[in-house]
Amino acid sequence: MSLDREALREELARLILGATGGLDITQVAEKGGLDREKVERLWRAIGFPDAGDAPAYGEADVEVASAVAAALDAGLLREETVVRLGRALGHTMSRLADWQVAIVVDQIGSDVADGRAPSRLVSAVELARQASPGFEQVMLYAWRRHLAAAAARVEALGAVDAELLSTPMSVGFADLSRFTAMTNSMDESELGDLVENFETRVTDIITAGDGRVIKALGDAVLFVNTDTRAAVDTALEVVAKISARDDLPNVRVGMATGSVLSRLGDVFGPPVNLAARLSNVARSHRVLVDQRTADALSVEDFDMRPLPPRVLRGFGEVSPITVSRRRAFRVRR
């Protein structure tokens, strides 16, 4: 393969995007049967700046415009719905793309260091040529699976509009202790490995407990579960497994239960804020919960000990409750 860098860059873009260029925004709108203003609005919602009259578009853009036009003409979707879907898609895909590239860069660097490729660009082109079709299939599969799960969650709530917007659930914040102090002595590579290790292991524990990760914040993971008992079991499992590792800092979890607003893949409401406050005041290796969470637990299965009241911003004086699994009493022989 030629090592001409410009040709390799063009080949990489072609492999990722397919045929590009040659059409301006007006041509895309005309060929796609959609008003130029609507095409521009969708383009911005997905996350890209206006290209003006530059020939920055291709047939793939026309196909998208045609699909949107057909949905609008048939009355299947309102324009505002299309824009909101585009914004959600653009935000999610932007983060996903950054994440994917960061992961792939590690392998590309190894390929060059091990002599399997003469340069990073050559390695990237080969990866795009050989792996992209299969990975695109995996990505579509994962999206369909998550879409089906999300639809099932909504269906389970019933047909009441208020329930679709606000759902009772337990919210947990798994937070690394002394994260800032520890990472001050790390280089970027070590920090990246630490964060990925933490997020991967915590996510595995949460999903195994039938919970759902909402987002990872570097030194913390926000998760939810509609089953309070399962949520607390998950929190205790996170503390036990993460704190037992020498390659990760200690962890603590704050948890609160109540009505939560689900919006664009995120969750909002007092339980979310309270869980974050509880994680901030929790000691290492501890799970702190609010009273509503504690009320849903069985004293036969859990030890629950109220702590002295303390002021939590936005909630006034709160008495956190520390939770642990009750150990079975064993008679010595």
CA–CA distances in Å: residue 147 to residues 78, 127, 144, 151, 312:
20, 28, 5, 6, 37
The structure tokens listed for 242 are 């993460």
Query: How far is residue 140 from each of residues 34, 136, 147, 264, measured CA to CA in Å?
Result: 26, 6, 10, 19
pLDDT of residue 122: 81
CATH topology of domain 161-325: Alpha-Beta Plaits (3.30.70)
Domain boundaries, the chain: 5-134, 161-325
Element (H, E) at 304: strand 302-306
pLDDT in tens, 158-182: 544 445 557 889 999 999 887 766 6
Q: What is the pLDDT of residues 272-320, one digit of tens each?
A: 999 999 999 999 999 999 999 999 999 999 999 999 999 999 999 999 9
At residue 48, the pLDDT reads: 84
When comparing pLDDT for 149 and 75, which is higher? 75
DSSP letter for each residue of 189-247:
HHHHHHHHHHHHHHHHHHHHTT-EEEEE-SSEEEEEES-HHHHHHHHHHHHHHHHT-TT
Q: Amino acid letter at 195?
A: V
Residue 22 in contact with residue 54, Cβ under 8 Å? no
Residue 160 phi/psi, 5-degree rounding, is -75, 125
Q: How far apart are CA 171 and CA 256, in angstroms?
A: 5
At 331, the pLDDT band (50, 70, 90 cuts) reads very low
Beta-ladder partners of 172: 223, 255
Q: What is the pLDDT of residue 186?
A: 77
pTM of the model: 0.70
pLDDT at 183 over 60: yes
Give per-residue pLDDT as tens, 225-275: 999 999 999 999 999 999 888 888 889 999 999 999 887 778 999 999 999
Q: Is 244 exposed, middle or buried (0-12, 13-18, 19+ CB in 10 A)?
A: exposed
Look at residue 2 in the predicted model and tell me its pLDDT.
Answer: 45
Average pLDDT, the chain: 85
Write the single-letter amino acid at 88: A
> Is there a contact between 42 and 86 (Cβ–Cβ < 8 Å)?
yes
- DSSP single-letter state for residue 254: E
pLDDT in tens, 22-62: 888 999 999 999 999 999 899 888 888 777 888 888 888 89
Res 170: pLDDT? 96
pLDDT for position 216: 87
pLDDT at 20 over 70: no
Confidence of residue 157 (pLDDT cuts 50, 70, 90): low
Q: Are 35 and 73 in contact (CB under 8 A)?
A: no
pLDDT band at 328, cuts 50/70/90?
A: low
